[in-house]
Chains A and B, each alone.
Chain A
Amino acid sequence: MPGAGPGVPKTRSNATPTSPISFWDAFVLIQQLVNGLTLGAVYTLIALSFSLVMGVLGVLNLAIAELFMLGGYFGFAILLARLPLPVALVAGMAGAALVAAIVERIGYQPFRGAPVVTPMLSTLGFSIILQNVATNVWGSDPLQLSDEVLSGRFNIGPASISAIQLVVLSVTVLLVASLAFLVQQTSIGRALRAVAENRDVARLLGVPAGRITLIAFMLSGSLAGAAGVLIGVHYAAITPYIGVEVGLKAIAVMVIGGTTRIWGSLIAGPLIGIVEVMTVAYVGSQIRDFVVYGLMILILLLRPQGLLGSGRGDQSQRV
């Protein structure tokens, strides 16, 4: 969907700067906030996906952008087979997790101990290969959903939210809550945090660090896959290039939230979603990426630890 801002209507407010804020302006603003939150929810999921691997291993898994894209295609395959949305969601998550496992075994595991740029380059290689595979399997034209998965809108005050947007938002909240529970309250989550903080100490406590690393990749992949299905049904279309268009933006979200603080994405995701949608609505879609990535560079310059990072890098919980 090149050109068309994902989820962003091309209409612009007709209000002149001098006119008082009309009912219509307020309506558009609230509508844009809802759209921004929806886009932000997807960013949040992908950013969490990035920072899960970043937190445990200190490695940027660039293939995540394409896991997101693949998750969308897996979900579409299920939907086109006329199976229900929850099945598509599970398939997108499981499929992306499986591909993430392959990326870990071939693109990360053999390079453990090498400088961090090495696994980053190998995941970049994976990223390009996965995009190529998708182009060959599904073609480079957008794959469309023939009929709407869910229809209907709900009014909230002057604005309305579509059933799909509601699904995107509630699935995101559910996934984030599950992830938080897993990481904070379970034995696997503690093992994950232990490996993230000190791999040797974790091993001394009997944690199979290699397996935990694989689990981190797969969890991360399943989040990206879920995001892919969600954005796919939201636009009722998907292309092999959505990973580059949307997935990579989540890196900016992660940086803005703070790379050492995984939960920073919970703030940065909605923030960037809203900023992006507002930029398109009130300024123009041509500077959308400029604003988002510009914000990332600004944060890197002024507050490298991110909005939530504490600065005492090592003291803060990474996962």
Chain B
Amino acid sequence: MLRVRDLVVGYGAIQAVRGIDLDIEQGEIVALIGSNGAGKTTVARAIAGLLSYSGEILFEDVRLKPNAAERNLRLGIALVPEGRGILGTMTVQENLLMGLYTRNDKAQAKLDLAVIHQRFPILAQRGHLLASLMSGGEQQLLAIGRALLSKPKLLLLDEPSLGLSPRMTDTVFAMIEDLRRDGLTVLLVEQKARQTLQIADRAYLLETGCVITTGPAKGLIDDPVVSETFLGSRTAAVHR
């Protein structure tokens, strides 16, 4: 479904991603793990079309253009960015309506909104609340619900567990599995390696902008390279 070839992304003089290849097949959950500053967010933002890059990204055999987020969304790629990307000056309901921005099928869109309200009752109850006043977990649900309303084929999630309680993290991860069961393809960017590898099909381990290991997720759980990466970054992770 998605083919990334020799992706290079830099911020000025800094090269954050140094030529990576990555594939995602229809219906998969693919994990992108790595320690702080490895370049995970940069990869996700490049795929979503927020950055310029060199290399090639194909989505369903269509060549994506760098820095063309609006087009990518219409093609079926949605990103829930790191930190959730909630529009805090708008109400919960207005955030959800923003998720419908590109939808032309108004009648169906209305039904989809009702489905999201059913799936996340809190979003219906707090519809008129300013989104910035929702709790972190509620905001994550809002961000995911909003992204789903654009009817993506590929959902990119950048650290959805960031700042969530273990229990809320479990809820979100269970939800990701549900979404896949409904036919969605997911790229899951995460720091919580063990938990992520348990729900993913395949995984890529990123370090300083390069893929250092890839393979079936279950096989990577006990991989020494993976353990070392995350043991080594434990002190860094504490500061988040």
Asked if B101 contacts A205 (CB within 8 A), the reply is yes
Asked if B150 contacts A205 (CB within 8 A), the reply is yes
Which residue of chain B has its CB nearest to the CB of A318? B89
Asked if B50 contacts A193 (CB within 8 A), the reply is no
Asked if A206 contacts B102 (CB within 8 A), the reply is yes
Asked if A200 contacts B150 (CB within 8 A), the reply is no
Instruction: Report how far A201 CA is from B50 CA in the complex, Å.
Output: 9
Which residue of chain A has its CB nearest to the CB of B45? A200
> Which of B88, B98, B132 counts the most A-chain CB atoms under 10 A from its CB?
B98
Q: How big is chain B's contact interface, by range?
A: 20 to 34
Verify if A207 is at the interface (C-beta below 8 Å from B).
Answer: yes
Asked if B85 contacts A315 (CB within 8 A), the reply is no
Verify if B129 is at the interface (C-beta below 8 Å from A).
Answer: no
Contact A190:B73 (CB < 8 A) given known A198-B87, A315-B89, A317-B89: no
Residues from chain B with a CB closer than 8 A to the CB of A208 are: 70
Verify if B48 is at the interface (C-beta below 8 Å from A).
Answer: yes
Residues from chain B with a CB closer than 8 A to the CB of A21 are: none
Which residue of chain A has its CB nearest to the CB of B86? A201
Instruction: Report how far A197 CA is from B87 CA in the complex, Å.
Output: 7
Partner of B81, one of A187, A200, A317: A200
Asked if B146 contacts A205 (CB within 8 A), the reply is yes
Instruction: List residues 48-94 of chain B with CB under 8 A from any CB of chain A.
Output: 48-50, 69-70, 73-74, 78-79, 81, 85, 87-90, 94
Contact A315:B70 (CB < 8 A) given known A190-B94, A191-B101, A193-B89: no
Instruction: Report how far A191 CA is from B48 CA in the complex, Å.
Output: 19
Minimum Cβ distance to chain A for residue B131 (Å): 10
Minimum Cβ distance to chain B for residue A71 (Å): 30
Contact string against B for A residues 191-232, beta-carbon threshold 8 Å, 1 for contact and 0 otherwise:
101100110111111111100000000000000000000000
Partner of A204, one of B81, B89, B90: B81
Contact A201:B101 (CB < 8 A) given known A190-B94, A193-B90, A206-B150: no
Instruction: Report how far A200 CA is from B97 CA in the complex, Å.
Output: 17
Contact string against A for B residues 97-108, beta-carbon threshold 8 Å, 1 for contact and 0 otherwise:
111011000000
Instruction: Report how far A187 CA is from B48 CA in the complex, Å.
Output: 23
Per DSSP, chain B at the interface is mixed
Per DSSP, chain A at the interface is helix
Residues from chain A with a CB closer than 8 A to the CB of B98 are: 190-191, 194, 202, 205, 207
Residues from chain A with a CB closer than 8 A to the CB of B101 are: 187, 190-191, 205-207
Verify if A316 is at the interface (C-beta below 8 Å from B).
Answer: yes
Residues from chain A with a CB closer than 8 A to the CB of B90 are: 190, 193-194, 197, 317
Q: How big is chain A's contact interface, by range?
A: 20 to 34
> Which of A194, A200, A206, A318 counts the most B-chain CB atoms under 10 A from its CB?
A206
Instruction: Report how far A198 CA is from B99 CA in the complex, Å.
Output: 14
Minimum Cβ distance to chain B for residue A33 (Å): 35
Minimum Cβ distance to chain B for residue A259 (Å): 15
Asked if A204 contacts B69 (CB within 8 A), the reply is yes
Instruction: Report how far A197 CA is from B94 CA in the complex, Å.
Output: 13
Minimum Cβ distance to chain A for residue B142 (Å): 12
Minimum Cβ distance to chain A for residue B216 (Å): 30
Instruction: Report how far A230 CA is from B94 CA in the complex, Å.
Output: 35
Minimum Cβ distance to chain B for residue A317 (Å): 4
Asked if A315 contacts B69 (CB within 8 A), the reply is no
Asked if A207 contacts B85 (CB within 8 A), the reply is no
Residues from chain B with a CB closer than 8 A to the CB of A204 are: 48, 50, 69, 73, 78-79, 81, 85
Instruction: Report how far A200 CA is from B81 CA in the complex, Å.
Output: 9
Residues from chain B with a CB closer than 8 A to the CB of A315 are: 88-89, 132
Residues from chain A with a CB closer than 8 A to the CB of B97 are: 187, 190
Contact string against A for B residues 135-167, beta-carbon threshold 8 Å, 1 for contact and 0 otherwise:
000000000001000100000000000000000
> Which of A202, A204, A315 counts the most B-chain CB atoms under 10 A from its CB?
A204
Instruction: Report how far A205 CA is from B132 CA in the complex, Å.
Output: 18
Instruction: Report how far A193 CA is from B48 CA in the complex, Å.
Output: 21
Contact A197:B89 (CB < 8 A) given known A204-B48, A206-B101, A315-B132: yes
Instruction: Report how far A187 CA is from B98 CA in the complex, Å.
Output: 8
Asked if B99 contacts A205 (CB within 8 A), the reply is yes
Residues from chain A with a CB closer than 8 A to the CB of B78 are: 204
Question: 10 A-B pairs, CB-CB below 8 angstroms?
Answer: A190-B97, A194-B87, A197-B89, A198-B87, A200-B85, A204-B78, A204-B85, A206-B70, A315-B89, A316-B89
Instruction: State the A residues within 8 Å of B (CB).
Output: 187, 190-191, 193-194, 197-198, 200-209, 315-318
Q: Closest 4 interchain pairs by CB?
A: A206-B102, A203-B69, A201-B85, A317-B89
Q: A193-B89, A194-B98, A203-B70 are in contact. List 9 more A-B contacts (CB 8 A).
A: A187-B97, A190-B97, A197-B89, A200-B81, A205-B146, A206-B150, A207-B70, A209-B70, A318-B89
